Amino acid sequence: MRIEIPREVERFGPIMFHDVQKVYELDAGLKHARNESKPKEKSVIRRLSYESLQEIQEQMCIIVPIRNEKIKLIEGVLCGIPHHCQVIIVSNSDRAPIDRYHIEKDALEHVCKFMKKNVIIVHQKDPKLREACEKSGYKFLLNEEGEIKNGKAEGMILSTFLAFLSGKKYIGFIDSDNYFPGAVHEYVQEYCAGFHTSKSDYSMVRIAWHSKPKIVESNLFFAKRGRVSEHTNKILNALISSFTGYGTEIIKTGNAGEHAMTMDLAINLDYSSGYSIEPYHYINMLERFGGILDNPIPAVLKQGIEIFQIESRNPHLHEVKGEEHVESMSMEAMEVIYRSPLCSPSLKQEILEDIYHRGLLAEGKKIQETLTYYPAIVNANLKVFQDVIKNEPYAELLQVDLSNYKHSKASGLQRDLVKGKKINLPESTPKLEAK
Ligand code: GDP
Ligand code: CO
C-alpha cells in the first residue's frame, strides 16, 4: 500500500488525532521491489510492503457482528477478509421459529472449508458466554432475564473478550452487511497500515469512506460523507475546540463503524450502547486519557494514544435500513456527547439547538437518557472468563496463556469515578455554524 502521511496532528494531552490519510496505491508490492527510489518516498508518501501488512494481519482478530443478514452477503464479507486474520463471528440471529443461526453457522462453516479460513462462530445468547460474563464480574452485559442483551454494541463488547483470549494484538470490526468484498479487504489492509506506522501500543484506526453510492434520478451518484457523520463530527470537533481554544475539523470519523484498535486500548476503554459506541470511543478517550479528569494509566501517558483516520478507495455500500434508523443513530451520537462530564453548559446548549433545528426533538424538550454505559473489560476477571468457556467447541483458539495474569481491582466507569469532582469546564464554546 502507498499512503500519505497525516498532514495535521491535533494533540489533546497524550492523545494524537491524525488527520485523514489518503491511499495512493492499494498494493505497492513486496518488501524488495525494484525501482523504488527510497529517499524520495521518505517525504510525504509511505510505501508499506505486502509483508509488513501481513505481519500485522497475523496478529489481528477481525470481528464480524451479524443479526439476520443474508448469508450471501456474509459470505462475500468473509471472502474479503485477508487470510492471516483470525475471524470471530458474533451472531445474534433468531433461533426461533426458524433457527436462522443454525442455518447461518452451517452455511458459513461450509464455505470456510473452501476458503481454508479459521473462523470462530458464537451466538450472542450462548449460555456459557452468559455464565462467563456473570462469573468474571461483568454482569453489565446481562438483561433482567440474565441473558446477554441484544445489540451490536453488546455483541462487539462480548467479542472483545474473545479476541483478548485469542492472544492477538489487534482487534478490528467489519460489518456483515457490506456488499463489496473488495471494500472489506481494503478496510483490513488500512487497519494494518495504521498499526504499522503507529508508535504506540494504544492506537486506533478508523475508516473514513470515500463515497457512498446512491441512485439519484436513475443515475449513480457517489455521495461524500453521510448526514449523520457530518453532525457528529461537528460536535466532537466543537468539544475539542472548547478546551484547546482553537477551531478544528480534525475529526472526520465520529461514526466510523469500521474501526480497529490495539488490544491494550480496546480492553481499557469504556463503551456505550447502540450506535453511540463509535462516537463514544472519542469521548471516552478524552475523558479517560485527555488529562482533564484523572485516572491516567502511566503507560498511556508515556506512549500516547494515536488515532488514525484512513480514507478508503472502494465505495461503501451496505444494506439500506431506512430513515428512522438514521435518525436514532444521530440522536444516540448527540446524547453520548451531551452526557459527557466534559460537555460544558454552552456546548450542551449548542447540541440542543442543533437537534431542534434538525427536527429530531421538539423545541424545548430535554434529551432523554436512552443509553447504557459499560465499564472497560479490564474490570472483568479475564482468567475466570477463559476458565468458564474453555471446554466449549469454539474455545479451541481462545486459550492464550493467562498464568501470569493479575486481575486488578475493578474501578468501574470513568464517568462514575469523577462524579462530584470539580471539573474545569470551558466557559464558552465556539459557535457551530448554522446549517
Ligand atoms: P449500520 O450499518 O451502522 O447502519 O447498522 P447495521 O444495522 O447495518 O448493523 C451493523 C452490523 O451489526 C451488521 O453487520 C448487523 O448485522 C450487526 N448487528 C446488528 N444488531 C446486532 C446484534 O444485536 N448483535 C450482533 N452480534 N450484531 C448485530
Ligand atoms: Co449496515
Nearest protein CA to atom 17 of ligand 1, as residue: 66
SS3 label, residue 23: strand
How confident is the model at residue 216, as a pLDDT?
Answer: 79
* Rounded Cα gap, residues 391 and 145, in angstroms: 25
Question: Nearest-CA neighbor of 153 among 372, 325, 339?
Answer: 372
Which grid cell sits at 153? 454494541
Per-residue pLDDT, 434: 47
For ligand 1, what atom is nearest to the CA of residue 158? Answer: 26
CA of 434 to the centre of ligand 1 (A): 32
Ligand nearest the Cα atom of residue 226: 1
Apex 293 CA angle, 290 and 299, nearest 5? 55
Interatomic CA distance for residues 97 and 119, integer angstroms: 26
Ligand closest to the CA atom of residue 77: 1
Centre of ligand 2 to C-alpha 68, Å, is 12
The DSSP secondary-structure symbol of 309 reads E
Q: Which domains does the chain have, with CATH numbers?
A: 2-28+46-225+248-317+375-393 (3.90.550.10)
- The amino acid occupying position 210 is H
Q: How many CB atoms lie within 10 A of CB 305?
A: 27
Contact 31, 54 (CB under 8 A): no
Cell numbers at 173, concatenated: 470490526
Distance 394 CA to ligand 1 centre (A): 22
Q: Closest ligand to 317 CA?
A: 2
Number of helical (H) and strand (E) elements in the chain, helices listed first: 15, 15
Q: Which is it for the CA torsion 203, 335, 125, 326, positive or negative?
A: negative
- Atom of ligand 1 minimally distant from the CA of 175: 14
- Measured CA to CA, the distance from residue 155 to residue 141 in angstroms comes to 9
Cα(62)–Cα(82) distance, integer angstroms: 10
64, 72, 177: residue to mutate for ligand 1 pocket, most atoms within 8 A of CB: 177
CA within 13 Å, CB half, 4: 14
Report CA(67)–ligand 1 centroid distance (Å).
Answer: 6
> Quick one: which atom of ligand 1 is closest to the CA of 151?
23
DSSP, residue by residue, 203-242: EEEEEEES-EEEEETTEEEEE-S-HHHHHHHHHHHHHHHH
Which of ligand 1's atoms lies nearest the C-alpha of 64? 14
CA angle 160, 163, 166 (to 5 degrees): 155
Look at residue 311 and give its three-state secondary structure: strand
Q: Is the CB of residue 268 less than 8 Å from the CB of residue 298?
A: no
**From residue 276, how far is each of 2, 130, 204 by CA, in Å?**
32, 23, 17
Cell numbers at 15, concatenated:
492523545
Q: How far apart are CA 82 and CA 188, in angstroms?
A: 7
Rg (CA), the chain: 21
Give distance in angstroms: CA of 152 to centre of ligand 1.
Answer: 5
Enter the pTM of the model: 0.94
Task: Identify the pLDDT of residue 435.
Answer: 45
What are the cell numbers at 128? 456459557
Cα(81)–Cα(402) distance, integer angstroms: 28
Q: Which DSSP string corresponds to 315-359?
A: PP-B----HHHHHHHHHHHHHHHHTSTT--HHHHHHHHHHHHHTT
Write the residue with the smallest CA distance to atom 28 of ligand 1.
152
Q: Give the phi and the psi of residue 61 in degrees, each rounded to 5.
A: -100, 135
Alpha-carbon distance 404 to 401, whole Å? 8
* Nearest ligand to residue 327 Cα: 1
Maximal CA-CA distance, the chain: 65
Q: Which residue ranges have their beta carbon within 6 Å of ligand 1?
A: 65-67, 69, 90-92, 124, 150-152, 155, 175-177, 257, 318-319, 321
The residues whose Cβ lies within 5 A of ligand 2, an ion, are: 177, 318
pLDDT score, position 40: 58
For ligand 1, pick from 121, 147, 152 the residue to mutate: most ligand atoms within 8 Å of CB: 152
CA gap 311, 214 in Å, rounded:
19
Compute the distance between CA of residue 81 and CA of residue 97 in angstroms, rounded to an integer.
Answer: 32
Residue closest to 60 by CA, chosen among 22, 86, 41: 86
The closest of 174, 434, 207 to 314, measured between CA atoms, is 207
Residue 22 CB-density burial (10 A; 0-12 exposed, 13-18 middle, 19+ buried): middle
pLDDT in tens, the chain (435 residues): 999 999 999 999 899 999 999 999 999 999 876 665 565 556 799 999 999 999 999 999 999 999 999 999 999 999 999 999 999 999 999 999 999 999 999 999 999 999 999 899 999 999 999 999 999 999 999 999 999 999 999 999 999 999 999 999 999 999 999 999 999 999 999 999 999 999 999 999 999 988 888 777 888 888 776 777 888 999 999 999 999 888 999 999 998 889 999 999 999 999 999 989 999 999 999 998 888 776 668 888 889 999 999 999 999 888 877 777 788 889 999 999 999 999 999 999 999 999 999 898 999 899 999 999 999 999 999 999 999 999 999 999 999 999 999 888 767 787 777 777 777 788 776 666 644
Closest atom of ligand 1 to CA, residue 319: 8
Among the atoms of ligand 1, which is closest to the Cα of residue 90?
A: 26
